[in-house]
Structure 1
């Protein structure tokens, strides 16, 4: 088989001792495998930092997860090769972003010499393109191809339905969108580029107003003046209920809580956090059009099984007339019913009422 980086990997027998180098990968693994926790000998600690309520849901559904050691303590943290070897895995699942470090490439060579197979999935760098291939990959690894394909087919069919409608619609001016990470929590403004969450803007035919100011395809910090110059007519912020003790994954703290989104967050709480954000210094300076069309997304949503529901929510925001009949909440309910052992029970997107 080939992983998402095109590496050829041979797995002679089903893995029985698995190390998740990034804990967030548990969300994709749980879609592909009906009972993944007994296989785990270690995992990253990032899921608990990004969404403690969701992590707790997994612990309640799979009590043995409490005994699985966490090999990292913060989002975006590398792991110790010695620690990994001590856990005696027969398979390590890495995330694509981890392979960008020269140290990790050396670690992979050492793991290979120890007879430990390594596969690379991706739910972060290019989540819209690689989430489904990652689920399919994990289905292959664990002999759960039919289960993985059921989710992949559902996701792809709904995504294609959105794209087909966009292509069939009369040509119109692309909405000018600003997509920024953790507004109100990090100092303004970490703006999405072409990759990561920025893929969604391109997919849905929006004009990413941050691109002319960015040095490359990835997101970067822009000044408030640059953001205002861009004159967006829709504002989309991402947020989460983060565990500050574990770190927020980067950026400078703006001293606020920012957008509250994720598992266990009520709809009113999420909406109120967005309203409060727009009252803060700086965000009050956004163009009136963007303030009227202000929306929020759970920050890691596109790397999760909820991704297709979030795409539908964004389609409604960006093209409200064309996609008025889409019901992303119903899509989320179907994902919970058919594909996830732990339901996504919370608020993963929000918007202010029109008017």
Structure 2
């Protein structure tokens, strides 16, 4: 038994005339149970990150899609280009609304999926869900965003069972859990005073105003897990919000971590990911810390300003982010941790998730200070 998940595959014979039928019974992250007549072959997904998850557990994830929201920023433009090269059908798949937008039940029914997959906290109403299920389409709720440390493994396991890819899903889950275990055990031995003040700025450069920050939950969970003291926790009761520059200066963060990606190039923010060089990433980070008030932060003065791809957070790829955060916040404790090894494993596991390019950077080369 696997706690609330309790995902099981139930095999039952239904008679010689109809042959064997493989039923799949799942309990999703909300605790609701659904049953599929057989592993799903036509999934409707409302978040591009689900496609990344599928790529880790299935050799041809696009072949499983009946529709998706075409939210290319969530998977990265280079990954989308690679998917188009290997699976051209992705460009012509029906488009549905993203999870944060109002859903059209008619649009969903017209696609005729055998499973509709939504993220926890999506805009799907109870009435819409009932209408979809009344049409014979099960609705499965996953979570890579709201409670990432608790639900990423659960969600991957659910996808594995739902698509008949259990073995591949369990391989990745075991890998992720072992890497997380190493981090958790070392952090558990750190005294409270050894947790440095950390300022993480999501989508850095998104606004001229200072400053976006995680609060309690979501990205803030990652900082807590790797032994950092998130300066946004005391000021922002919700998972995300804004800090004033005066507050940031007063808290004197010892570590600064900006997140960004290809989507920030047109905004003049932090650029990272496939298609970018380390010099480009570092130059964009240098531009960010040249903003008024940043240059004198202890993190910048002491060479502890870092950049991290936002697409690694709140996704099945988050183990790379956790390892880089751990090394950034506790470089001595995690000296032997190598996120590049994790990236190599993921690149080997997934033929379509592009791991070429730069996904983390810092202003000062390791060992130069």
What's the TM-score once normalised by structure 1's chain length? 0.89
Structure 2 residue aligned with 1:91: 115
1:52 corresponds to 2:77: yes
**1:342 is the counterpart of 2:353:** yes
Task: Give distance in 1, aligned partners of 2:99 and 2:202.
Answer: 15
Match of 2:44 in 1: 19
Tell me how many residue pairs correspond in the alignment: 339
Q: CA deviation at 1:169?
A: 5.2
Structure 2 vs 1, CA of residues 171 and 281 (structure 1 numbering), >3 Å: closer, same or farther?
closer
Structure 2 residue runs without a partner (length 5+):
1-25
Hey, what's the Cα distance between the residues in 1 that align with 2:100 and 2:337? 34
Structure 2 matches for 1:179-258, cutoff 5 A?
179-186=200-207, 187-214=209-236, 216-242=237-263, 256-258=267-269
CA RMSD of aligned residues (A): 2.1
Cα separation, partners in 2 of 1:207 and 1:147, compared to 1, 3 Å: same
Q: Equivalents in 2 of 1:267, 1:128: separation in Å?
A: 29
1:165 deviates by 2.3
So what's the TM-score if we normalise by structure 2? 0.85
User: What is the match of residue 247 of structure 1?
Assistant: none
Give the structure 1 partner of residue 105 of structure 2: 81
SS of 2:322's equivalent?
helix
Provide the C-alpha distance between the structure 2 equivalents of 1:49 and 1:22, rounded to a whole number of angstroms.
8
Match of 2:126 among 94, 98, 105: 105
Regions of 4+ moved over 6 Å: none
Give distance in 2, aligned partners of 1:320 and 1:239.
22
Q: Is the 8 A contact 2:115 2:138 kept in 1?
A: yes
1:285-300 matched pairs, under 5 angstroms: 286-291=296-301, 292-300=303-311
Unaligned segments of structure 1, at least 5 residues: 245-254
Relative contact order, CA 8 A, sep 6+: which one is greater?
A: 1
Alignment of 1:154 onto 2:175: yes
2:216–2:239 CA contact under 8 A, matched in 1: yes
Q: Please name the residue that 1:35 is paired with.
A: 60
Q: What is the distance in 2 between the residues matched to 1:59 and 1:104?
A: 32
The structural deviation recorded for 1:45 is 2.0
Deviates more, 1:183-192 or 1:301-310: 301-310
**Contact 1:48–1:243 (CA<8 Å) still a contact in 2?**
no
In structure 2, C-alpha distance between the alignment counterparts of 1:29 and 1:129, rounded to whole Å: 19
- Please say if residues 258 and 306 of structure 2, whose CA atoms lie closer than 8 Å, have aligned partners that are also in contact: yes
**Are 1:178 and 1:235, in contact at CA under 8 Å, matched by a contact in 2?**
yes
What is the alpha-carbon distance in structure 2 between the residues aligned to residue 346 and residue 58 of structure 1?
A: 16
Are 1:333 and 2:344 matched, yes or no?
Answer: yes
The one-character-per-residue Cα deviations of 1:13-57 (angstroms, maximum 9, x if unpaired) are: 222321111122100012122222222121012234662112112
Structure 1 or 2, whichever has the larger Rg, is 2
Q: Which residue of 1 aligns with 2:17?
A: none
Q: CA 1:50–1:341 in structure 2 vs 1: closer, same or farther (change >3 Å)?
A: closer
Alpha carbons of structure 1 residues 208 and 256: separation in structure 2 relative to 1, 3 Å: same
Contact between 2:210 and 2:244, CA under 8 Å: does it hold in 1? yes
- Paired residue secondary structure (1:120): strand
Distance 1:236 1:92, change over 3 A: same
Shift of 1:105: 2.6
Distance in 2, matches of 1:75 and 1:105, equals: 14
Asked if the contact 1:177–1:235 (Cα under 8 Å) also holds between the matched residues in 2, the reply is yes
2:195 counterpart residue number: 174
Cα distance in structure 1, aligned partners of 2:73 and 2:256: 28
Deviations 1:208-255 (A, max 9, x none): 1111111x24111222222222221111111111189xxxxxxxxxx9
